[in-house]
Structure 1
């Protein structure tokens, strides 16, 4: 008879909410092992008794047969004396330090989808069908470990049939914490604008469908909040939604099928995978303008791309199967405010927009927007990290000489596209997209995200990392917290966010970080944004954490008349730029579009501001350079949202293919950064304008010139590895051409994938910077 042994296993990673305990139960019983498995706040604990051969097979099969959404970060084992277990069981969860990974919300799996459309299945047409492989997770969890009692499903008591599924080891709903059906689970209701119930259950969905067919705007409560939904083919209805929502940005679309998406858009293999993935993000796809598509122009005016997603919950699948055409599915909020999550809140804020409200009675714990992805060089690039991705952590590998504090460091991010982050062991948990901290409602969402993370992971930070900009709301929060703060330069944080995401923190060589964006507070008190930072191996920084990087080059500076006001007025940026070239003579150049955009009195005021240096912030920003060129060539003088002018400048290139560039100069001053002088570039733009060359051709030449600026600086600095980060690198033409040219010149370019290149990644970089200071 073989000698019995007892094996204790502790597993950490994404092992809660993925059917991991049922998986372990089935595996152990198939191998004839006895013992138990349970969740604890840090992951999953297992004890099994059997022969050495059985236990070795058990460990091997854990890795080989992991559930689809599970991942193991650490697996620790120890052998103990057997205690004589009689059977294998799933035990009640226990406490401990909260380190277990919370899974993001997962799109409906194929098995559940089949059930809701099967007339013979008891979950036929049930919009809250889920199993251990799919459904809500992060949006409904209230505490760890992941058990029904710690979710917003706690008030729904399972019926006998659901209980039977829950306790049956061979059922895929075995220990599915959110298991429910039409008899015992959440249900739909349709409300009018006053919050009165019009109808309920499947009839509510059918009536909502009819309202959408009529061209009405319907507010629909989904996973992480409300969508405002309208027929995407109905120009008048979409225009009304745009007006009521006060939104200038393109709207996202939900399509009923991949087939219809492919009829309307160009879709690569990777983009297909993203659309069909468990994350089910919004994917930016190039339109087929000759497809005869019926999408209303107001959905994405003058934009060659559409933001497209497929249904990702049973409710969405049922809705879209009834409609059969694409709908606008935009966040249920007013511009610059967080998404509504509660039906009473939605009635209060959205009743002037939506005609009816399709709601359900499963509470949403926290707001989570749809994630947004685009494909760059055959790799995904996250532009908004939210549903499907957050709150999975970023593992960071620091130098072994650096002692990382446990659960003590919070980063509060930037002012725009805000996220927050916590360090916990060798991981950084980055929050879902919060947004711009420009309103009281946005600040409330920021504070809620802070409270959420502290509650879920029992985090009590001792230090806060923040942006160096003194006027950012997030910075002021840190300074007013009473805790020690570590200000981190904005563009340094950008570069570190990429290095953390892509495991370059233990790199042995220096790295050139090209951080280009609109605004970042510089060490000299000016506005940076066209930066080249040399990052020395981070292991060497412990001796001198006060000088963690060197600013080795930047774009030539110019002034912004009106300061912050210039950010929304490219015409002002252009005046500041052109004044560097023409001086006072600029104000007599009445043939230039930016000059024509002002009246005589406004021009006199601008002249006075520039001549006397009144309210004229100094900037090296690449983002503002894009704005200026867009205004100079007559594309846009005012913007309604961040990056609008730069987007239109990129879109103007269309399918044009040229390698032509403008000239530029590199100025070298002893013991100072290289200065990339754009004056010859702008003079070339003006010359092409006078020759009446097309906006698209001028834009292509301008983009190509920026790429060559980066290549030349990289050659002069000599760093082999080049990181591209910052909001400017959301520009597909710019980043792809830069990658190609750097590669041609034998550099190794790096660009973001899982963390956005814009300010949504700043919090991660702040954590890394602060860890080195500490």
Structure 2
């Protein structure tokens, strides 16, 4: 009992919303309550954690602050609602009460997470009952999205339902103060899945358990290629220091040049492979376990074929206990998607065996089924700003929502054609899918349909509106048209670069004021029938109103897609269309005479030469003009190698004059190359010149339209050298600039912009019918 002079008690009811279920949040609340002498209770409902807490005012304040600030690693606290309620006399203790259900409410889906430090210690502790157990997990790590069949996130609704818990696991699962309280994937050697290694489909040839780990390590040590089933699908692995093994993997996967990511056995080893700044190091070892791309360190001993022609490499750490057991601290293995090039990730065991049989020498699999396949996430380290640039938002980040400043109804946005994701909105949140891939193959289209059905079922939402790109030949657009007609759902089509700009504004919740966005990429269907990609879009305070305020001077692409695969063709066209002398340039030397004659005749006659304003294609052209890359085998190869060439320039003095234009810049590059200037210096000059032109144009358009903010969106802004130079110039001009921080600038973030357009349309339907007077470009709905 309180004495007459004791501080009086207060009682608060708290509602905590966000990703707060299946992540150890209730035990966390109970521990914090014990630390501050708080009585009361907490529990789950379908969309929040509810708490009643009683203590003195000071203790309550400290408790509420700690509940949020010290939340478990996988928790995402969006909002804490607090209100005063009547105190309960003589209450003692703090307890976790049973969950309660609310009709129609849906909890947020937690993301898959890499092995936590506690589980890692147990994994390597010979006295622990889970010593070297390949499926060790707790509430702070392990599979989540990938094993969920339905909500709420309870074991019977996951693919772990077929593994009944042993008594020891059940005791941990039922103990509110245990780290494994309600850890749905909990298991051990006695009751969990079985690891299996085999070199063929014959069951008698299989090794299981730790014998499987030993056999797999021996295979890789001897130069073999291994297919390993991780949290979200299969990964192809081999020794990243063995040039012969890496080359064999390239040959078998038909992937001649595209860089491979590697998995390092420890953070210390990763720091020997790449220049690891503090922010990148924290993310590398964090729950999401992304691939971190950074400059190769001087001490790197990776095989040359890991990342040919590039000065950066992608490194990741073990994302599952099986990887932790396979790789020793000093090991570094190639870790690339277990797929056939151009197709989605394999995650079904039978399909993986059939599809990867000609690539992998052996398989490490298990009998825990993957319900939702999830690729590795990828981020690019920006050491100058201690920032990370999202390139692929998948495992560890998806399907965590992006909050929208406003949002009405349920919208399904189907994304683009390359690096595809889709988004579903509800309750003012946009849920982006994990990375699916390029929609050119039938397998990717089927994966897209399956993923849409899964996410819609989990959220119990049928869309009120579908949103797609305006490109008539995108597989996603055709799917949306069929789906809209079959279901009687309205379809909104949003211009590609407008969707890019909207994704940036939505991410920063910057709607409500004008914004000018430089949307640069390889291609996008333009409203005038040409291919856009070097656009300065002026968005109104009502973001569905926009104008193409400026753009790169157009040029032609001889043969269309053929020019994309052969940058020398684009270079010849840029020089011809911009009136620049092509004498003695490498792009002509690289051209087979017969093909060059065809290209020149196409340009002269205007046959099969679509027009583009693409900055991405201009980078391709300059890469060939300077002799860096004339033919490509993967998307953005020429631009990436041109950026690598620019980074080889170790001195300054390549800044551009404020009145530079892309045309004057390319003419200067051609003249200086003929004069014998170094290619690295000219590549640097090109980046700095385009950056100056971009920043000056943004500042000019913003001033003319009274916009305070400018932004950068589109795949070209994954070029770190260009992005850094533009931001530096805009900072010097005192112009605030928005960049992508949570979703990719490329097409992987396109669905967010489409989704926001859909929610705005549902809220303000009249904006979809804006007149095109004064050059505005409204969204169109049909």
CA distance in 1, matches of 2:57, 2:664: 75
SS of equivalent residue, structure 1 residue 422: strand
Per-residue deviation, 1:598: 3.5
The residue number in structure 1 matching 2:739 is 751
Q: For the structure 1 residues 61 and 560, does the alpha-carbon distance in structure 2 shift closer, same or farther, using more than 3 Å as the test?
A: closer
Question: What aligned pairs does 1:693-732 form with structure 2 within 5 A after superposition?
Answer: 693-717=677-701, 718=703, 719-732=707-720
CA distance in 1, matches of 2:74, 2:148: 17
Deviations 1:22-60 (A, max 9, x none): 3345556775745562342x2334567899999877656
Q: For the structure 1 residues 605 and 25, does the alpha-carbon distance in structure 2 shift closer, same or farther, using more than 3 Å as the test?
A: same
TM-score, structure 2 length as denominator? 0.90
Which runs of 5 or more residues in structure 1 are unaligned?
A: 399-403, 667-676
Q: For the structure 1 residues 284 and 698, does the alpha-carbon distance in structure 2 shift closer, same or farther, using more than 3 Å as the test?
A: same
Per-residue deviation, 1:66: 2.7
Equivalent in 374, 377, 399 of residue 368 of structure 1: 374
Which runs of 5 or more residues in structure 2 are unaligned?
A: 3-7, 763-782
CA distance in 1, matches of 2:79, 2:700: 43
CA distance in 2, matches of 1:634, 1:53: 69
Per-residue deviation, 1:97: 2.7
Equivalent in 511, 514, 526 of residue 518 of structure 2: 514
Equivalent in 566, 569, 572 of residue 563 of structure 2: 566
The residue number in structure 2 matching 1:286 is 295
Deviations 1:585-634 (A, max 9, x none): 96xx5x33333333443333323322222111111000010111111122
CA distance in 2, matches of 1:340, 1:69: 26
Per-residue deviation, 1:21: 2.6
Question: What aligned pairs does 1:668-679 form with structure 2 within 5 A after superposition?
Answer: 678-679=662-663
CA distance in 2, matches of 1:592, 1:287: 31
Per-residue deviation, 1:297: 0.8
Equivalent in 517, 531, 534 of residue 530 of structure 1: 534
Q: Contact 1:4/1:49 (CA < 8 Å) preserved in 2?
A: yes
Instruction: Say whether 1:648 aligns with 2:654.
Output: no
Equivalent in 177, 200, 206 of residue 193 of structure 1: 200
Per-residue deviation, 1:252: 0.6
The residue number in structure 1 matching 2:77 is 72
Instruction: Say whether 1:395 aligns with 2:388.
Output: no
| More displaced 10-residue stretch of structure 1: 82-91 or 102-111 | 82-91
Q: For the structure 1 residues 26 and 743, does the alpha-carbon distance in structure 2 shift closer, same or farther, using more than 3 Å as the test?
A: closer
TM-score, structure 1 length as denominator? 0.90
Deviations 1:229-286 (A, max 9, x none): 1011111111010111112310010111122222232221112112121112111121
Instruction: Say whether 1:43 aligns with 2:52.
Output: no
Q: Contact 1:93/1:145 (CA < 8 Å) preserved in 2?
A: no
| More displaced 10-residue stretch of structure 1: 19-28 or 78-87 | 78-87
Q: Contact 2:146/2:373 (CA < 8 Å) preserved in 1?
A: yes
Instruction: Say whether 1:209 aligns with 2:217.
Output: yes
SS of equivalent residue, structure 1 residue 480: helix
The residue number in structure 2 matching 1:672 is none
SS of equivalent residue, structure 2 residue 145: coil
Q: Contact 1:530/1:621 (CA < 8 Å) preserved in 2?
A: yes
The residue number in structure 2 matching 1:638 is 631
Instruction: Say whether 1:447 aligns with 2:449.
Output: yes
Instruction: Say whether 1:265 aligns with 2:274.
Output: yes
Q: Contact 1:664/1:680 (CA < 8 Å) preserved in 2?
A: no
Per-residue deviation, 1:662: 6.2
Equivalent in 345, 353, 357 of residue 351 of structure 1: 357
The residue number in structure 1 matching 2:247 is 239
SS of equivalent residue, structure 1 residue 561: coil
CA distance in 2, matches of 1:261, 1:72: 31
| More displaced 10-residue stretch of structure 1: 18-27 or 165-174 | 18-27
Question: What aligned pairs does 1:122-521 form with structure 2 within 5 A after superposition?
Answer: 122-196=129-203, 197-247=205-255, 248-289=257-298, 291=299, 293-321=300-328, 324-376=330-382, 377-398=385-406, 404-406=407-409, 408-481=410-483, 482=485, 483-506=489-512, 508=513, 510-521=514-525
CA distance in 2, matches of 1:447, 1:654: 41
Deviations 1:479-525 (A, max 9, x none): 1112211111111111111111122123x3x2210111110111111
Q: Contact 1:494/1:761 (CA < 8 Å) preserved in 2?
A: yes
Instruction: Say whether 1:762 aligns with 2:750.
Output: yes
Per-residue deviation, 1:389: 0.8
The residue number in structure 2 matching 1:659 is 653
Instruction: Say whether 1:687 aligns with 2:671.
Output: yes
CA distance in 2, matches of 1:195, 1:384: 37
Q: Contact 1:98/1:458 (CA < 8 Å) preserved in 2?
A: no
CA distance in 1, matches of 2:318, 2:69: 31
Q: Contact 1:43/1:99 (CA < 8 Å) preserved in 2?
A: no
Q: Contact 1:664/1:679 (CA < 8 Å) preserved in 2?
A: no
Equivalent in 11, 18, 40 of residue 16 of structure 2: 11
Per-residue deviation, 1:342: 1.7
Q: For the structure 1 residues 265 and 83, does the alpha-carbon distance in structure 2 shift closer, same or farther, using more than 3 Å as the test?
A: closer
| More displaced 10-residue stretch of structure 1: 258-267 or 471-480 | 258-267
CA distance in 1, matches of 2:424, 2:467: 10
CA distance in 2, matches of 1:570, 1:249: 16
Q: For the structure 1 residues 159 and 95, does the alpha-carbon distance in structure 2 shift closer, same or farther, using more than 3 Å as the test?
A: farther
The residue number in structure 2 matching 1:771 is 759
CA distance in 2, matches of 1:649, 1:56: 55
Q: Contact 1:128/1:314 (CA < 8 Å) preserved in 2?
A: yes
Q: For the structure 1 residues 653 and 75, does the alpha-carbon distance in structure 2 shift closer, same or farther, using more than 3 Å as the test?
A: closer
| More displaced 10-residue stretch of structure 1: 345-354 or 68-77 | 68-77
Q: Contact 1:664/1:681 (CA < 8 Å) preserved in 2?
A: no
SS of equivalent residue, structure 2 residue 691: helix
SS of equivalent residue, structure 2 residue 430: strand
Q: For the structure 1 residues 36 and 679, does the alpha-carbon distance in structure 2 shift closer, same or farther, using more than 3 Å as the test?
A: closer
**CA RMSD, 1 decimal:** 2.6
Per-residue deviation, 1:317: 1.2
Per-residue deviation, 1:745: 1.6
Per-residue deviation, 1:353: 0.9
Q: Contact 2:555/2:578 (CA < 8 Å) preserved in 1?
A: no
SS of equivalent residue, structure 2 residue 359: coil
CA distance in 2, matches of 1:37, 1:665: 63
Q: Contact 1:664/1:678 (CA < 8 Å) preserved in 2?
A: no
Q: Give the length in aligned residue pairs.
A: 741
Instruction: Say whether 1:578 aligns with 2:585.
Output: no
CA distance in 2, matches of 1:65, 1:712: 44
CA distance in 1, matches of 2:653, 2:548: 29
